[in-house]
Amino acid sequence: MLEKYTIGTLSRESGVNLETIRYYEKISLLNKPERSGNGYRHYNESAIKRLRFIRRGRELGFGIAEIKTLLELADHPEHPCKEADQLAQTHLTEVETKIKDLLAMQEVLTKIVACQSHSAEHCRLIETLNQRSCCN
Amino acid sequence: MLEKYTIGTLSRESGVNLETIRYYEKISLLNKPERSGNGYRHYNESAIKRLRFIRRGRELGFGIAEIKTLLELADHPEHPCKEADQLAQTHLTEVETKIKDLLAMQEVLTKIVACQSHSAEHCRLIETLNQRSCCN
DNA sequence: CTTGACCCTGTAGTAACTACAGGCTTTATG
DNA sequence: CATAAAGCCTGTAGTTACTACAGGGTCAAG
């Protein structure tokens, strides 16, 4: 009753790719599971929760190392939250930096796309990359 | 007079890391330069232009493969611009997708950071990852 | 003449997977 | 009952775009 999921089932339940689960085990993000006589991995409910935790962390853009720390903290509810707060703050700043960079790219690309050109000689994208003046 | 830059000078002039220049050569993004007797690479003005073109492309977020295509197009001004327009459009869409994803992350992270917690048990980030209800 | 700056090749490491190759086991179907 | 499909196993290599050495040669200045 306790170890009722095979890796395929766990993959479906958690939304994490099967090969990714084995990868997480290899890098010690997940504990090694029990094995049945045939060598198959078997998991329980807590593995699902853990994997979902990891998946949500990845969806928020945290790296594996950060998630490892967060799993540690989640396992010790008495610990201060300071470290997690710090991770969130730092990560938020990184995300905002990336947004800023992408918005700058978007602005240039939008201008380029807005103007149809005919030949490579007067192609806006290529002109931009050559840093010659653009069609405005 | 023609081949007057060493790789270090080229690096400074183009704003591209020296090791990256050698890497670009290895993956055939840059042509192999002349070598002087001692085996040193020597470059001319056109190499600077080409590297700057590449750098600007990278700054706009294009991948190496796309830049390779764009360099081809830039070398053939009589070619239609259609392919470049297409690349720009596709890339713009990718950039906008990334922005959307990052904005979603930012929104969640901002909420998490806004609320100071004390212990991991009531830590907003960890609660979010556990998908228990948050402090609002 | 030696020290520091510059150049060379080639390999390995980074992040987080993904994709096989090659080979078992288990389950479903005829 | 045989066989085929689905599922599992290990281990390695590939992806992107660099970056960081290790180990070694060359060149200019004091």
**pLDDT 10s digits, B84-103:** 999 999 999 999 999 999 99
Nearest residue (CA) to C1' of D25: B38
Task: Collapse the DSSP code of A36 into the 3-class scheme (helix H, G, I; strand E, B; otherwise coil) and give the result.
Answer: coil
Mean pLDDT of B25-46: 95
Residue A96 pairs with which residues in a beta bridge?
none
Would you call A70 and B131 a contact, using CB atoms and an 8 Å cutoff?
Answer: no
Whether A58 has a pLDDT exceeding 80, the answer reads: yes
CA of A38 to C1' of D6 (A): 16
ipTM above 0.90, yes or no: no
pLDDT band (50, 70, 90) for residue A136: very low
Rounded to an integer, what distance in angstroms lies between the CA atom of residue B4 and that of residue B85?
35
For A100, the enclosing helix (H) or strand (E) is helix A82-114
The mean pLDDT value of chain A amounts to 89
B residues 97-136 near A, CB within 8 Å? 98-99, 102-103, 105-106, 108-110, 112-113, 116-126, 128-131
**pLDDT of res. B119:** 57
Q: What is the set of domains in chain A, with CATH numbers?
A: 1-63 (1.10.1660.10)
Tell me how close the Cα of B91 comes to any Cα of chain A, in angstroms: 8
CA of B72 to C1' of C26 (A): 54
Tell me the percentage of chain A whose pLDDT exceeds 90. Answer: 77
Q: Which amino acid is at A93?
A: T
In sequence order, what DSSP letters do the residues of B23-74 get, joined into one string? HHHHTTSSPPPEE-TTS-EEB-HHHHHHHHHHHHHHHTT--HHHHHHHHHHH
Whether A1 has a pLDDT exceeding 80, the answer reads: no
Tell me how close the Cα of B36 comes to any Cα of chain A, in angstroms: 29
Whether A117 has a pLDDT exceeding 80, the answer reads: no
CA of B107 to C1' of D27 (A): 56
**pLDDT of res. B136:** 39
Lowest mean pLDDT among A55-69, B46-60, B104-118: B104-118
- Between vectors from CA A55 to CA A105 and to CA A10, what angle results, nearest 5°? 145
Nucleotides of D under 7 A from a protein CB: 7-11, 16-21, 26-27
Mean pLDDT of A3-17: 93
Whether A15 has a pLDDT exceeding 70, the answer reads: yes
Rounded to an integer, what distance in angstroms lies between the CA atom of residue B92 and that of residue A102?
10
Would you call A120 and B92 a contact, using CB atoms and an 8 Å cutoff?
Answer: no
The mean pLDDT value of chain B amounts to 89
- For chains A and B, what is the number of CB pairs under 8 angstroms? 161
**Any B CB within 8 A of A95 CB:** yes
**pLDDT of res. B135:** 41
Two structure tokens written together for B97:
């997708």
**pLDDT of res. A56:** 96
Whether B66 has a pLDDT exceeding 70, the answer reads: yes
Residues of A in contact with B97 (CB under 8 A): none
Mean pLDDT of A2-27: 93
Whether B1 has a pLDDT exceeding 50, the answer reads: no
**pLDDT 10s digits, A86-111:** 999 999 999 999 999 999 999 999 99
